[in-house]
Structure 1
């Protein structure tokens, strides 16, 4: 009787804390193909693209910088066979996914795939028919992914009204989480129900990271909205919890309406620096969706910034968040963000959300300090023995970022 009781307790505990799967101990870093060949949602992906990008991530410095996942997005699947097995698109992946995943692994990366919790995925990926989601096939699909060598799965939330009834994200993500864990393989689970049901409050039970809001597009309007949405969520992220996911990094610009690897940036270089800086302070996943086979100068500067990546990967404390304002700029304009990092230090970002430049003053009392040494995380400049406060000019939509330590 006692042994049966212990088994039940273990089973229930395993279900409730299903994300305790040995992965996701740091925010994931990698590349997703969503906006590479063609504009976002129109990625005409194929095996060659995936393998070419994988090779590029070795030569362009991304692997050495810590990027580890290569994720095949909503463009790889085609249909289910008579036994319900999900079948890759034979025109795009003529030999299936296994050789592609083996190539990814051979270069030292981990492979990821996209699916959906509902009946169909969110996009046909440039094709003229719907693509089946995983609803009704969670365990079957999880077993397939594990057998192929997949180590990261994104589960979206389209087509989740089945026979007139809206599916419950709590139930569906728990089922997919349990299905993945049941394979015995350590597979990172990213949930994407767009923040509808405040997943930061509960999704840590089932997933390693969770989308906190709507899609991030390559424009300042959505970027600024996503920054604001995530400003107060830092305490929900961390080791033993999981990671708030504000969505992909758009650095350098999505692809143009071509397949020639050209970039069509929707933001300024300043805005791309701000995006990356605040994603790093939030301890957010760093998943790049732009074409990294021909990295522009701003892509190299931003995506390979080792100081900021170190801040992102530092798991000493929870994710960073907004801790205050310089109200001389106006309401909610000049923002002060911070993240606790190793050795009692802090990563600081002074963010100007306005359309004009501002002086932003950081009062050290906000940090609980009086005298501070700081190092600029973009140019490496060091400043010593600042007392009481520091004031810097921050351009429109820009950020100044520092690593700071108290002077005793």
Structure 2
């Protein structure tokens, strides 16, 4: 097993990863209320999974208007920063490495989560048929249609870029090893990138160069906020069409985005592939095209098995593979992949919200 591609070390920037298994961001909605503060329970959850080569935290919102789902953690207040420090210290004590995924949901929110305000986006276009997770008036959780957004002014765009810069500083103050920009799955950065979600006529809309501008400026702000381009990753989702974001020519826009991010010099590019049953496949030639324009570490996530992951690494278009849902019920997932051991199944009803059940009570292989 010494030549197993999943268990070769990987160096990028100051980080030395012991394997190629990445735990990708997964919303679990267990932040303490009020205040959306990370907890000791969350610290235990992440520390249990510290054998991953790299952990990327669940999406953590950068400002109050960036929040889109109930009980998700922020990185905006001092209490939230302190809560995340519990998490990073626990992960580091267990020998792991962890990046913070920085999140602004844009239009994928509801006014009840935003103090009655409308969500903001690139354009005043509603994500039809898209539901978000809220707390109902009686305290029970539920899903409702996302509210109609209003378009951001250029002055507000500049303010959000500054919020990203400050969020990166906050993440470093909380002890994270780096940050990942969530620019995928229909959230705010994606709403600027994709032509179907952006009808602006100013310098943030229309042409390919204009639609890349927000991604470019936010990424550069994160580099400044962390002080090191290698401590920045970006997650893109070229073909997923999640949450109503569709581009007329995704290969062109996302190849250009990858090239731009390579020029900025970020540490890794994280590609989220569609992972539902009848989702479109991402062609290997597209993956090779992205590899040709992006010189950093390439990460892929989306229904990978150990076998598929090893093949991707051997073919050379991927350097790290994210395993999402398998990490929920298998805290020692790398050990199971190494031994080709059976994987436990997660309990769907406990994915969003709740307590330790379905979060920290899945046993490791030795006890299972």
* TM-score class normalised by the smaller sequence: 0.3 to 0.5
> Normalising by the residue count of structure 1, what TM-score does the alignment of the two structures yield?
0.39
Q: Which protein is richer in helix relative to its size?
A: 2
Name the larger-Rg structure: 1
Q: Which protein is richer in strand relative to its size?
A: 1
> Normalising by the residue count of structure 2, what TM-score does the alignment of the two structures yield?
0.42
Bigger relative contact order, structure 1 or 2, given CA contacts below 8 A and separation 6+?
A: 2
